[in-house]
């Protein structure tokens, strides 16, 4: 940067003025001030100053009176312009101070807004937390109201205790009844098993001697029609025994009696007042029962179509002449004696 130098001519001497060097910041400030500030007043002051200097310091031996008056006018004009420029500077200074105050106020307002923003942000976070807490409390209150409503619908504690005690008593009574029924069923089962075993033993007592009894029933001379029927029956029995048909009839009869004993014995019991069964007295009656079964065949070696319709285990219907034989057989049974077949005396009393 070039150093500016100027010389001021004073009567009788000459003084050289050298401006000090300026820094970059000062140059920037001057440039900025010249751009932003109006230089008209400064130019007018400078012009008035040059006019005054030109009029006041002209080399003249004897200045006339008109020259003195012009110097005074130039000085007065310069002073007036300088005063107006000074006023303009004061005005600019006041504007600068006002702007500086506004800048300070702006900075303060900015800081205040920033602080308020931070405070509002923290308040928003707190309000969010309080809102969540209030929502949780409201949800809990709704659940509590629902549970309280359900609880109010329930009976009181005393009623619940009374109902529980009544239910426990009912359960105890049911358990006792169940145990009693179990004992009764167990005793009835044992009694039924014993009766079934006794009946099986009674049924098996006279079976091995059936063939001998059938052979012993031979006809005698001078017999009536019933004896002839018995003779024919015995002959048919022997014939069927030799051909193997009697054995099949025995097995079918046993199966039938077992099925008949199993079904009604669950509901009936033997007569406790009947006498015990003796095989010696039942030998004569056993072949009669078998012979009555065998009377359904009209011939000795052939079967009728009616026999084909009889299934295994079924007993053929007795003809009319068997009724004549059954009556003497019932007379042969002694009083209180039980037969192999079921009778009215064998019907047990209902429990």
Sort 234 into a burial class: Cβ within 10 Å, 0-12 / 13-18 / 19+. buried
Tokens of 73: 């006018």
Helix, coil or strand: residue 16: strand
Tokens of 163: 């109902």
Distance CA(277)–CA(274), nearest Å, equals 9
Span 100-130, pLDDT tens digits: 999 999 999 999 999 999 999 999 999 999 9
Q: What are the angstrom distances between the C-alpha of 245 and each of 112, 208, 298?
A: 129, 17, 14
Distance CA(73)–CA(67), nearest Å, equals 10
Distance CA(276)–CA(285), nearest Å, equals 16
Q: List, in order, residues 6 or more apart from 310 with CB less than 8 Å away.
A: 316
- Inter-residue contact 52 to 70 (CB < 8 Å): no
Could you say which DSSP state residue 224 is in? -
Span 176-197, pLDDT tens digits: 999 999 999 999 999 999 999 9
Is the pLDDT at 50 greater than 70, yes or no?
A: yes
Span 29-43, pLDDT tens digits: 888 877 776 777 778
Span 283-308, pLDDT tens digits: 444 444 444 444 444 443 444 444 44
Q: List, in order, residues 6 or more apart from 319 with CB less than 8 Å away.
A: 295, 296
Could you say which DSSP state residue 17 is in? E
Q: What are the angstrom distances between the C-alpha of 24 and each of 21, 38, 149?
A: 10, 22, 86
pLDDT at 281: 43
- For 74, how many CA atoms within 13 A lie in the half-sphere containing its CB? 18
- Inter-residue contact 217 to 230 (CB < 8 Å): yes
How large is the average pLDDT for residues 248-267?
Answer: 51
Helix, coil or strand: residue 18: strand
Tokens of 130: 């309080």
pLDDT at 214: 56
The reported pTM is: 0.31
Distance CA(241)–CA(291), nearest Å, equals 12
Residue of 17 and 4 predicted with greater confidence: 17
Distance CA(211)–CA(163), nearest Å, equals 73
């Amino acid at each position: 940067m070039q150093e500016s130098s100027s010389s001021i001519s004073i009567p009788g001497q000459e003084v050289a003025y050298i401006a000090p060097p300026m820094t970059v910041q000062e140059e920037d400030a001057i440039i900025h001030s010249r751009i932003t500030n109006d230089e008209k007043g400064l130019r007018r002051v400078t012009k008035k100053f040059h006019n005054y200097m030109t009029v006041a310091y002209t080399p003249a031996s004897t200045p006339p009176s008109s020259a003195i008056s012009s110097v005074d006018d130039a000085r007065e004009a310069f002073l007036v312009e300088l005063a107006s420029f000074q006023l303009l500077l004061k005005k600019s200074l006041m504007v600068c101070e006002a702007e500086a105050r506004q800048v300070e106020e702006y900075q303060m307002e900015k800081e205040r807004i920033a602080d308020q923003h931070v405070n509002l942000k923290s308040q928003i976070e707190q309000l969010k937390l309080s809102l969540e807490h209030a929502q949780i409390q409201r949800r809990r209150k709704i659940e509590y109201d629902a549970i309280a409503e359900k609880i109010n619908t329930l009976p009181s504690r005393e009623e619940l205790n009374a109902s529980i005690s009544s239910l426990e008593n009912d359960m105890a009574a049911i358990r006792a009844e169940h145990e009693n029924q179990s004992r009764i069923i167990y005793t009835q089962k044992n009694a039924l098993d014993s009766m079934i075993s006794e009946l099986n033993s009674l049924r098996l007592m006279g079976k091995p001697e059936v063939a001998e009894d059938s052979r012993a029933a031979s006809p005698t001379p001078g017999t009536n029609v019933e004896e002839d029927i018995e003779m024919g029956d015995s002959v048919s029995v022997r014939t069927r025994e030799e051909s193997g048909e009697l054995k099949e009839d025995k097995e079918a009869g046993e199966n039938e009696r077992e099925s008949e004993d199993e079904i009604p014995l669950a509901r009936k019991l033997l007569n406790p007042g009947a006498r015990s069964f003796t095989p010696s007295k039942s030998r004569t009656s056993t072949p009669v029962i078998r012979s009555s079964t065998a009377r359904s065949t009209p011939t000795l070696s052939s079967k009728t179509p009616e026999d084909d319709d009889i299934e295994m285990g079924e007993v053929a219907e007795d003809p009319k002449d068997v009724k004549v034989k059954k009556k003497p057989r019932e007379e042969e049974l002694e009083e209180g004696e039980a037969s192999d077949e079921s009778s009215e005396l064998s019907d047990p009393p209902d429990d």
